[in-house]
Chains A and B, each alone.
Chain A
């Protein structure tokens, strides 16, 4: 494999990373996030139908009415004593509606479903609270900072402090850029998306540590060698591994992104972006950023 020049083109790689961070921050702070109903609450519509209506029929009808419903969660529910030929669906969406809007949506939905040949009616249209709001609240800055501190401490112990800083910087880069992409592409941040972000943390760390490990090994083996050249060689030595690992992961998440339904898409999107961003940062950010301060011990 051809060697890539990570070290001497360092300003370019770091500028690309910086550019994406700034772009992401701009999107995050101006456009913001499209938060899922489980975090912010919204509306719940209960639809009752006779016959064999399925989730997809309802999802389609909803999207035809308004794009507000593209991320709507459609779940079948059933109460004790419901007749066998009746199906009920709970539709939740992270938006609340005025009284007039509600009436209009109910009318449109019922007529849309009638057009499709279903005998369906809206039973209730409620405002609903979130179910997972608490989780976000508890996973506060404190938790994030403690996670980063723990990682920093471990890497300092096993490698050196400066590598710890590089790993944390790479991690922060990955999370910010991935969040930025969520904002840019307007994907809903729901519980699965949060799971994707958490996975990304592990993934990014793993990648970074493998690079560090190689640098550490070579620094022992070739003590005294010019550090920039040594770092460049180390990164290139693990490059096949990095690419293969990223590619295998990317295959899975990308297939998922192509074929999964609306509730899983944010998860697959987060991981697809995350894998790319995480791979980039482990090669072009984690070491190059702190290279100046790396010294033989």
Chain B
């Protein structure tokens, strides 16, 4: 009975791991009652709600195509949320009396400040010219403030807040030579290869519509490498400003004709990554004005969620009863298998921090169906083997062996479909595909290992069809 012992150990170990993943304490316990057990399963907007932020899009008057601006804002915010792993967050445009709004809903975020942080800067990015710098806060120094007025520029802090730069949007006072809200297609950290330099640099590429302006800017600001550090060169530095903070200030060492540029600065990998992320996450083409921050209840309606949950449970209990009535002890095994597999699936979801939405629940539902189906297939097969005159032990062995191939093909086909859906899908479809794949794989394991264990253990309780029922099969 070695195989049985191995199965028992595997079944218990997997169960223990799933429970561990589910019950691992979380810092802020928010669910009460029975739901405490599902603390670590993150729930989506549709069934739990989340943070809700509403912004007015401040489209400057005279913009040719205001709805395009709103679309662009939408895209930038969408990319930021996706980059932060919140593909399940929703973003929608909303219009009223010629005003445009963006409503953002983020699942699994309880406090609104972290939701705002997640969304990132709501300001504008521009490439400006650095005219001067100061190591002390210029707002306390009237002389420096006057300088800003004379130069028609502003003092802006650096990211670490230790240095202030005097930045002007218009480059070298050439009329209209400025680059506000540049569209940056790619930006990534790259290891430094040049002799005498170390660490990382950041390469980025501007969209073609901005490349020409950038070329003219670099023509104006370019300084020979030998002149770097001189007073004249210091007034020709380029600043990348986001949200009125200088993200980077440095020299332009060559004219950039095609929008493909690199920023060198012997950065550490972490610094380079950050800078690339700032460039890539992109600037908003318009400023956003916060209208309200708050929370949203489950999108499908709290009361509907509750009634559906009750209906689902009633259905499930009916199925469990049906299985016992129809299959006797094998029905009990099927019921154990379906509960086990559901816990397993939730455990995997908790461990991977996947967000569970209604489509995900559809996946769980499908998993339950597959698990029950697997047991039905096995039970029917055993019944057939018994009818053919085999002893109970032999019938169980033959039943499981044969069902292995059936279930293997049936489940693998489903998983293949799930993988394609996962690859092409976004939010909803992905959420469904994840639970489908995990669940179907789990059901195969449960059918072959757990059901086998229990069927063997209770083999003397299996009803043997009466001789009269033993028809001759083809």
Q: Mark A133-171, 1 if CB is under 8 A from B, else 0.
A: 011001100110011001100110011000000010000
Docked-complex contact B362 and A90, CB < 8 angstroms: no
Q: How far is the CB of A62 from chain B (nearest CB, A)?
A: 12
Docked-complex contact A198 and B432, CB < 8 angstroms: yes
Q: Which residues of chain B come closer than 8 Å to A198, judged between CB atoms?
A: 359, 362, 421, 429, 432-433, 436
Q: Does A248 contact B (CB under 8 A)?
A: yes
Q: In the assembly, what is the distance between CA of A238 and CA of B406, in Å? A: 11
Docked-complex contact B322 and A248, CB < 8 angstroms: yes
Q: How far is the CB of A74 from chain B (nearest CB, A)?
A: 6
Q: Mark A230-266, 1 if CB is under 8 A from B, else 0.
A: 1001000110110011011101111110111111100
Q: How far is the CB of A174 from chain B (nearest CB, A)?
A: 13
With A205-B414, A252-B319 known, 17 other A-B pairs at CB within 8 A are A44-B94, A75-B299, A125-B96, A126-B94, A128-B95, A129-B74, A131-B105, A167-B413, A195-B358, A198-B421, A202-B366, A206-B370, A206-B373, A209-B409, A252-B368, A256-B315, A260-B304
Given contacts A213-B406, A245-B369, contact A138 B424 (CB under 8 A): yes
With CB as the reference atom, state the residue of chain B lying closest to A214: B406
Q: Does B389 contact A (CB under 8 A)?
A: no
Q: In the assembly, what is the distance between CA of A155 and CA of B420, in Å? A: 15
With CB as the reference atom, state the residue of chain B lying closest to A43: B94
Q: In the assembly, what is the distance between CA of A225 and CA of B474, in Å? A: 10
Partner of B474, one of A44, A90, A191, A222: A222
Q: Which residues of chain B come closer than 8 Å to A191, judged between CB atoms?
A: 46, 358-359, 428
Which of A128, A130, A146, A258 has the most chain B CB atoms closer than 10 A to its own CB?
A128
Stretch at the interface among B210-218, B275-283, B290-298: B290-298
Q: In the assembly, what is the distance between CA of A73 and CA of B304, in Å? A: 10
Q: Mark B75-118, 1 if CB is under 8 A from A, else 0.
A: 00010000000000011111110000101010000001000000
Query: Nearest 8 pairs between A and B by C-beta?
Result: A261-B304, A252-B315, A79-B294, A195-B359, A143-B424, A76-B297, A259-B311, A255-B315
Q: Does B66 contact A (CB under 8 A)?
A: no
**Chain A interface helix/strand/loop/mixed:** helix
Q: In the assembly, what is the distance between CA of A218 and CA of B377, in Å? A: 16
Docked-complex contact A263 and B436, CB < 8 angstroms: no
Q: Which residues of chain B come closer than 8 Å to A55, judged between CB atoms?
A: 301-304
Docked-complex contact B424 and A245, CB < 8 angstroms: no
Docked-complex contact A202 and B426, CB < 8 angstroms: no
Docked-complex contact B413 and A205, CB < 8 angstroms: yes
Docked-complex contact A245 and B372, CB < 8 angstroms: yes
Given contacts A191-B46, A202-B436, A259-B307, contact A209 B410 (CB under 8 A): yes
Residues of A whose CB lies within 8 Å of any CB of B are 38, 41, 44, 54-56, 59, 73-80, 82, 90, 124-132, 134-135, 138-139, 142-143, 146-147, 150-151, 154-155, 158-159, 167, 191-192, 194-196, 198-199, 201-203, 205-206, 209-210, 212-214, 217-218, 222, 225, 229-230, 233, 237-238, 240-241, 244-245, 247-249, 251-256, 258-264, 267, 271
Docked-complex contact B303 and A56, CB < 8 angstroms: yes
Docked-complex contact A132 and B427, CB < 8 angstroms: yes
Partner of B359, one of A78, A154, A192, A238: A192
Q: In the assembly, what is the distance between CA of A199 and CA of B431, in Å? A: 12
Docked-complex contact A77 and B294, CB < 8 angstroms: yes
Q: In the assembly, what is the distance between CA of A50 and CA of B299, in Å? A: 21
Number of A-B contacts (CB under 8 A): 255
With CB as the reference atom, state the residue of chain A lying closest to B383: A240
Q: In the assembly, what is the distance between CA of A130 and CA of B74, in Å? A: 12
Docked-complex contact A131 and B92, CB < 8 angstroms: yes
Docked-complex contact B405 and A213, CB < 8 angstroms: yes
With CB as the reference atom, state the residue of chain A lying closest to B304: A261
Q: Which residues of chain B come closer than 8 Å to A218, judged between CB atoms?
A: 474
Residues of B whose CB lies within 8 Å of any CB of A are 46, 49, 52, 74, 78, 90-96, 101, 103, 105, 112, 292-304, 307-308, 310-312, 314-316, 318-319, 322-323, 326, 358-359, 362-363, 365-366, 368-370, 372-373, 376-377, 380, 384, 402, 405-406, 409-414, 416-421, 424-429, 432-433, 436, 440, 473-474
Q: How far is the CB of A145 from chain B (nearest CB, A)?
A: 10
Q: In the assembly, what is the distance between CA of A237 and CA of B293, in Å? A: 61
Docked-complex contact B323 and A248, CB < 8 angstroms: yes
Q: In the assembly, what is the distance between CA of A267 and CA of B357, in Å? A: 13
Q: Which residues of chain A come closer than 8 Å to B301, judged between CB atoms?
A: 55, 59, 73-75, 261, 263
Q: Which residues of chain B come closer than 8 Å to A147, judged between CB atoms?
A: 417, 420-421
Q: In the assembly, what is the distance between CA of A74 and CA of B312, in Å? A: 21
Docked-complex contact B377 and A241, CB < 8 angstroms: yes
Docked-complex contact A205 and B410, CB < 8 angstroms: yes
Docked-complex contact A154 and B112, CB < 8 angstroms: no
Docked-complex contact B91 and A76, CB < 8 angstroms: no
Docked-complex contact B316 and A252, CB < 8 angstroms: yes
Docked-complex contact B428 and A132, CB < 8 angstroms: yes
Show 17 residue pairs from A and B whose CB-CB distance is below 8 angstroms, ordered by the A residue. A77-B295, A82-B294, A126-B101, A127-B94, A132-B90, A139-B426, A146-B420, A147-B417, A154-B413, A191-B358, A202-B414, A237-B473, A245-B372, A252-B318, A252-B319, A252-B368, A264-B300
Q: In the assembly, what is the distance between CA of A198 and CA of B93, in Å? A: 28
Q: In the assembly, what is the distance between CA of A244 and CA of B375, in Å? A: 11
Q: In the assembly, what is the distance between CA of A19 and CA of B248, in Å? A: 67
Q: Which residues of chain A come closer than 8 Å to B440, judged between CB atoms?
A: 202
Q: In the assembly, what is the distance between CA of A116 and CA of B319, in Å? A: 41
Q: In the assembly, what is the distance between CA of A18 and CA of B34, in Å? A: 48
Docked-complex contact A80 and B294, CB < 8 angstroms: yes
Given contacts A80-B294, A154-B413, A261-B303, contact A199 B373 (CB under 8 A): no
Q: Which residues of chain B come closer than 8 Å to A159, judged between CB atoms?
A: 409
Docked-complex contact B318 and A251, CB < 8 angstroms: yes
Q: How far is the CB of A6 from chain B (nearest CB, A)?
A: 14
Docked-complex contact A75 and B296, CB < 8 angstroms: yes
Which of B300, B316, B319, B419 has the most chain A CB atoms closer than 10 A to its own CB?
B300
Docked-complex contact B366 and A199, CB < 8 angstroms: yes
Docked-complex contact A128 and B421, CB < 8 angstroms: no
Q: Which residues of chain A come closer than 8 Å to B428, judged between CB atoms?
A: 132, 135, 191, 194-195
Q: In the assembly, what is the distance between CA of A201 and CA of B366, in Å? A: 11
Q: How far is the CB of B362 from chain A (nearest CB, A)?
A: 4
With CB as the reference atom, state the residue of chain A lying closest to B70: A129
Q: How far is the CB of A223 from chain B (nearest CB, A)?
A: 13
Q: Which residues of chain B come closer than 8 Å to A74, judged between CB atoms?
A: 301
Q: How far is the CB of B96 from chain A (nearest CB, A)?
A: 4
Q: In the assembly, what is the distance between CA of A215 and CA of B299, in Å? A: 46
Q: Which residues of chain B come closer than 8 Å to A214, judged between CB atoms?
A: 406
Q: Which residues of chain A come closer than 8 Å to B411, judged between CB atoms?
A: 206
Docked-complex contact A264 and B304, CB < 8 angstroms: yes
With CB as the reference atom, state the residue of chain A lying closest to B431: A195
Q: Which residues of chain B come closer than 8 Å to A233, judged between CB atoms?
A: 474
Docked-complex contact B303 and A54, CB < 8 angstroms: yes
Which of B294, B307, B311, B433 has the most chain A CB atoms closer than 10 A to its own CB?
B311
